[in-house]
Structures are given as structure tokens and as C-alpha cells.
């Protein structure tokens, strides 16, 4: 059975069928720095990284390992024989070498990702309580899974070393035993397993956040405050493409006192104009370099790379919300996932607010709806793209949906997805849009069981009933940042006669506090944009009115509006709204 021309903002029903170089060492200069105490002298050396050409200073441990910060970059003998190649982190770039984004770039430790579950064992069982806590938290927040090693070839081994620092032997799976050494003083501080997770994330293929190639947009380095032997750890940036936004909360970010000459002299500061909010639950440290545990951004990054093995389950209401591509800011998607419409299969319903291929005024606004099945275990959802025309602002007639294309929607993390579209309306438009969540994730999780949230559960599709079927609203509640967002897909007054030029869409925003059910908003009209293109100089957002959203229950609401500008200037009224589809879990 084929889709029968689903009208947007309509009850999904049974009638809608879901659907590098010679081994030439450049130079190694060993410098013995004697200390006044009986401690053995620390030995430092420098070499040029054959990948980047940067001079790297590292420490040679008495056992011969070359340590750069908290990462073993080889042995002194390896570097003498083969030269130095710094291990590089996972990259989001799609090169010929890692077309499926599965591979760490080839280097000293270069190997594919770990297979899940990741086998682990203890050289020092005293570490078990702390490490098990770290692993359990990773397993709960990400798609990762771990299993005590029996006979597996590739595995992580945890050993104890004296002191307060820990070390990972390499970045990524180098094959065979991957040694992680945990300082005995770290183990003496149970509850702060972030230090253990930091080393595990190195083993998984992740590098330091402050070494991302875009870090100079977020932090200012202060070389005069950095211990000279650690300077290259700060000055070196990786060319690999990092996943997600720069994350000040990341467990992979150094503290600004790490390798500093004194606690009064900070190695870096947050760049002017950037806000570095660090608020990790149940953590006493609210500053960069928190050692408590992985951040939501870390979890997303792990899931981005590792969910290709497990699959990311798109059949969950938590993906509901506003999604966009930062490069084409000002247009985007309001999506709702109705989970488990039938067991294991949900329905994705979305509205795409965009523009005509030619920029102009409100008459160049365009919106489409998308609909299709999402199934647990299937990473790609095939959606139909519909267009509705012939309607009037908040008035009859109901409009029918015409199929104008197809799209493939996929998610690989709670805040990361992709939409590929092909129009069949003669326009020849086709492309791929990277999707990022506009507002913070609330209930989405890589793994079940999933949290619910009574405020967020109001998020989704609402409409005014059969008489105006074909137009409607998408609401999103973001309690963690106190924000409410409403998208309104409608028409111009007397828009019925104008075909696509009669379409209109508005966005509305208001402040939200947990439990709030009457939400005042400002209404905006966006014009001057071009279909799936970066904002042009003429693109702008104009406040055109005020409104109030009142949620009476999980399935009933009203929206009052008063337009003082824009296409619907002079119009005011109250729309009685019902929910499209069933209320989600937790409502
Ligand atoms: Zn590290």
C-alpha cells in the first residue's frame, strides 16, 4: 500500500503507510634535568613530528616509553629508529582512507575503531572498583559496551602507576594490548572517575579538546605560563575534523592550571565573547577540565563514531525538536518522532521551513512536510516530501498534500543527523543537509531505558482540526536553558489563490521555567533567504507580533496571537489546538 497523500498535521493513522617517510630520525636531544631530591632525574627529548612538521617535546620514562602529556607516543627506541608520528584522533572528515568515518588516520598507532563490546582486564585488581564505575557510566550514557577479557586479541589492560597522573598508551586501537596506567593517587579518590574516562577516551580514539584545529576561536593560549617541556602539548593542533561544537565541558579538556608555571599563571583563558558554561551534574568542579565524567558532548562524539556498529535507534520521541545546519541558519526542520506506532517501528513527521530558490519577501517563504517510518535497527528512514498549497491564514479550506520528492533521514547521535533530499517536482533540487539540534537534548539517549520529562513531552505537533487541516504548529520545550520555541506553518491571508507564494511560516520564542504551561512569546517572520543556501545579506528576522501558548493538557492547548506587522498584520485571535498523534511517554 502506498502513502495516500498524507496531509501534514493530521493524525497518523493506519491508512498512512509508514515507511609519512623513510625511517629517518630527524633528531633526538636528550636532556637530563637533575632535581635537588633523590627522585630520579626526568629525561626530556625533542623530535619533529613527521606528520605535521611540529617540534614535539616529550618525556622518556625510565622504562623507555616516550610520554607526551598523558599519552604514550611510542618508545624512545621506536622514535630513534622510525622517527616520530604523533597519533591522530578520530576524524569526521570523509577522505578516501576513512570513507565510512570508521578509521583513525594511519600513524604509529593507527588502526580501526574498537569492536564492541571492548574487552578489558586488570594488571592490578585494586583498580577494579574505580574503573568499573567509569565503565558503567560510559555504558549508560553511550552506545559503548565492555566485557571482561577472556581470549580476545585486542583489549584494554588497566595497571597502576605511582602518582596523581594517568597515561594511555596511544590514541585509538593500536591492536593487541592497549595499556592504560592509572595513578595510585587517582584511585585514592573514588567518585572522580572522569580521570579514568579521559584515558579510556584516548584509547577509543579521542584527543584533547584544546588541541582541536578550531580551538583558537575559543581559547587564548598563554605560552609564558606553560612549562617549557609541555609547550608543544598546547601549541600543537590536530588537522583532523573534530566532531561537534567546541566543548568546554569535555572530560578531554585540560584544566588551565595543567602544566602551568604556577596556579596564578593560567595556560589558557576563554576567548572574549565565548561563554564557557561547565555544569556537570553531581560534580563539585564547575570549571574547564572537570574531572567528574564525560559531558553530553563527549557522549555524542562517542556515539557518532561508535554507533555505526550498534546502530543509533531513531525510534524515540527524544529526537523531536528543531534541527538545522549552522551554515544555512535561518531555515531548518521541526521534527517529531512518534515512537512504536507498531512494535519496533515509529513515524517521523517533519516540517521544513525554508525559502524559494530566489530570495525575496514573505512570498518567497516555502515550507514542506516530510513523513515516513523510522525503525529500530535501521539507520536510514525513507521519507516522502510533501507540499501543501491553496490555504488561507488560520482559516479553511483544508489543503491536500502533494508528493514533491523523497528524502533519507538518519541520526548517529542525539544531536547529530543528516537529511538527503531529491525533489521530483521538476526543479531538479537535490542535496544533503547535516543536521544539528538547535536546542539542547532532553530525553534522547543512545540506549534504553530512556528518561522522560513532563515539560519536554509537550514538544511535538499540534493543529487546529479538520477545517484547517494542512496547517499547524510544532512546539519545543527546552527546560535546561529555559526556552520555548514554536514554529507555525500556515498561509497568507487570502493565500489560497497564490499557490506556493501563498505559504507562510512563523517562529515564536519565549522564556520557559519548569512547570510553566502559559508561555508568552514573540512572533517572528524570516525573509530574504534562499533555499538550502547560506544566509544572504538581505536575510532577516522581524518581530511581527506577540502570542501566548497555553497547554491545558498533554493533548489540548490554545494559542493566542496578535500580529502588529508582517504578512498577517492586524490579525488577532485564539486557535484551539489538539495534539497530532498520541502524547509521548512521560506526558
Ligand atoms: Zn589526555
Check whether residue 295 and residue 420 sit in a common domain. Answer: no
Say if residue 217 is in the same domain as residue 351: no
Shared domain for 317 and 283, answered yes or no, is no
Calculate how far, in angstroms, residue 527's C-alpha sits from the geometric centre of ligand 1. 46
531 shares its domain with 411: yes
Domain boundary among 304, 339, 365: 304
Q: Which residues contact 145 (CB under 8 A, 6 or more apart)?
A: 116, 117, 118, 139, 310
Residue 228 lies in a domain: yes
pTM: 0.74
Same domain, 273 and 375: no
User: Lowest-pLDDT range, 35-39, 321-325, 386-390, 580-584?
Assistant: 35-39
CA–centroid distance, 201 to ligand 1, in Å, is 8
Long-range own/partner contacts, residues 419-425 (CB < 8 A, 24 or more apart) = 419/333, 421/385, 423/385, 425/387
User: What confidence score (pLDDT) does residue 18 get?
Assistant: 26
Query: Minimum mean pLDDT among 12-26, 146-160, 270-284, 367-381: which range?
Result: 12-26
pLDDT in tens, 84-100: 988 888 877 654 334 33
Residue 198 CA, ligand 1 centroid: distance in Å: 6
Centre of ligand 1 to C-alpha 62, Å, is 20
Range of the domain at 500: 311-579
Mean pLDDT of the region 125-141: 93
Per-residue pLDDT at 438: 94
How is residue 226 written as a grid cell?
Answer: 606553560
- How far, in Å, from the CA of 482 to the mean position of ligand 1? 34
Strands 345-355 and 332-342: antiparallel
Residues 260 and 130 in one domain: yes
Domain boundary among 304, 334, 365: 304
What count of residues does the chain have? 587
Residue 9: predicted pLDDT: 41
Q: How many angstroms does the Cα of residue 95 sit away from the middle of ligand 1?
A: 26
> Separation of 567 CA from ligand 1 center, angstroms?
55
> For 427-449, what is each residue's pLDDT tens digit?
999 999 999 999 999 999 888 88
Verify that 102 and 206 share a domain, yes or no: yes
Can you say whether the dihedral through the CA atoms of 576, 11, 461, 295 is positive or negative? positive
How many domains in the chain? 2
Q: Which residues surround ligand 1, an ion (CB under 5 A)?
A: 70
CATH number at residue 185: 3.40.390.10
CA distance 513 to 526: 26
H/E run at residue 75: strand 71-75
Nearest to 475 by CA among 335, 317, 330: 335
- Tell me the CA–centroid distance for residue 292 and ligand 1, in Å: 14
Q: Which among 14-28, 271-285, 514-528 has the top mean pLDDT?
A: 514-528
* Domain's final residue, options 276, 304, 332: 304
Mean pLDDT within 57-63: 94
Q: 304 falls in which pLDDT band (50, 70, 90)?
A: confident
Amino acid at each position: 500500500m502506498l502513502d495516500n497523500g498524507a496531509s501534514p498535521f493530521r493524525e497518523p493513522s493506519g491508512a498512512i503507510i509508514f515507511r609519512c617517510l623513510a625511517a629517518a630520525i630527524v633528531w633526538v636531544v636528550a636532556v637530563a634535568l637533575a632535581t635537588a631530591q633523590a627522585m630520579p632525574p626526568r629525561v626530556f627529548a625533542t623530535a619533529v613530528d613527521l606528520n605535521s612538521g611540529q617540534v614535539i617535546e616529550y618525556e622518556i620514562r625510565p622504562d623507555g616509553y616516550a610520554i607526551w602529556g598523558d599519552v604514550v607516543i611510542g618508545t624512545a627506541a621506536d622514535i630513534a629508529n622510525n622517527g616520530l608520528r604523533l597519533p591522530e584522533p578520530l576524524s569526521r572528515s570523509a577522505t578516501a582512507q576513512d570513507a565510512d568515518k570508521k578509521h583513525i588516520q594511519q600513524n604509529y598507532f593507527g588502526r580501526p575503531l574498537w569492536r564492541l563490546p571492548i574487552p578489558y582486564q586488570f594488571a592490578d585488581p585494586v583498580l577494579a572498583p574505580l574503573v568499573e564505575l567509569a565503565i558503567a557510566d560510559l555504558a549508560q550514557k553511550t552506545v559503548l559496551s565492555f566485557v571482561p577479557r577472556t581470549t580476545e586479541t585486542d583489549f584494554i589492560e588497566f595497571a597502576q602507576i605511582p602518582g596523581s597522573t594517568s597515561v594511555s598508551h596511544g590514541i585509538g586501537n593500536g591492536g593487541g594490548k592497549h595499556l592504560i596506567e592509572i595513578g595510585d593517587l587517582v584511585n585514592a579518590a573514588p567518585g572522580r572517575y572522569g580521570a579514568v574516562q579521559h584515558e579510556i577516551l584516548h584509547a577509543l580514539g579521542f584527543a584533547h579538546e584544546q588541541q582541536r584545529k578550531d580551538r583558537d576561536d575559543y581559547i587564548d593560549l598563554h605560552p609564558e605560563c606553560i612549562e617549557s617541556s609541555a609547550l608543544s602539548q598546547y601549541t600543537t593542533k590536530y588537522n583532523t575534523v573534530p566532531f561537534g561544537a567546541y566543548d568546554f565541558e569535555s572530560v578531554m579538556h585540560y584544566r588551565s592550571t595543567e602544566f602551568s608555571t604556577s596556579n596564578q599563571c593560567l595556560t589558557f583563558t576563554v576567548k572574549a565573547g565565548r561563554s564557557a558554561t561547565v555544569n556537570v551534574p553531581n560534580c563539585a568542579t564547575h570549571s574547564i577540565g572537570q574531572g567528574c565524567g564525560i559531558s553530553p558532548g563527549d557522549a555524542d562524539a562517542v556515539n557518532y563514531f561508535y554507533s555505526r556498529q550498534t546502530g543509533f535507534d531513531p525510534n524515540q520521541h527524544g529526537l523531536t525538536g528543531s534541527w538545522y545546519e549552522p551554515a544555512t541558519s535561518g531555515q531548518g526542520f521541526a521534527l517529531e518522532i512518534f515512537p512504536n506506532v507498531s512494535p519496533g517501528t515509529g513515524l517521523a513527521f517533519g516540517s521544513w521551513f525554508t525559502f524559494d530558490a530566489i530570495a525575496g519577501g514573505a512570498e518567497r517563504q516555502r515550507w514542506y512536510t516530510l513523513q515516513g517510518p523510522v525503525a529500530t535497527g535501521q539507520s536510514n528512514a525513507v521519507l516522502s516530501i510533501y507540499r501543501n498549497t491553496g490555504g488561507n491564514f488560520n482559516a479553511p479550506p483544508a489543503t491536500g498534500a502533494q508528493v514533491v520528492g523523497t528524502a533519507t533521514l538518519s541520526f548517529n547521535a542525539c544531536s547529530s543527523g543528516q537529511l538527503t533530499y531529491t525533489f521530483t517536482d521538476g526543479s531538479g533540487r537535490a542535496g544533503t543537509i547535516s543536521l544539528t539540534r538547535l536546542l539542547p537534548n532532553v530525553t534522547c539517549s543512545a540506549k534504553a531505558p530512556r528518561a522522560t520529562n513532563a515539560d519536554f513531552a509537550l514538544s511535538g505537533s499540534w493543529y487546529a482540526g479538520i477545517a484547517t487541516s494542512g496547517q499547524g504548529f510544532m512546539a519545543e520545550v527546552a527546560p535546561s536553558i529555559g526556552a520555548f520555541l514554536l514554529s507555525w506553518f500556515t498561509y497568507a491571508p487570502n493565500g489560497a489563490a497564490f499557490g506556493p507564494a501563498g505559504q507562510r511560516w512563523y517562529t515564536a520564542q519565549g522564556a520557559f521555567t519548569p512547570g510553566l504551561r502559559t508561555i508568552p512569546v514573540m512572533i517572528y517572520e524570516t525573509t530574504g533567504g534562499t533555499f538550502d543556501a547560506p544566509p544572504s545579506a538581505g536575510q532577516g528576522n522581524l518581530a511581527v507580533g506577540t502570542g501566548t501558548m497555553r497547554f491545558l493538557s498533554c493533548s489540548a492547548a490554545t494559542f493566542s496571537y496578535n500580529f502588529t506587522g508582517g504578512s498577517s498584520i492586524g490579525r488577532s485571535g485564539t486557535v484551539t489546538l489538539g495534539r497530532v498523534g498520541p502524547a509521548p511517554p512521560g506526558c
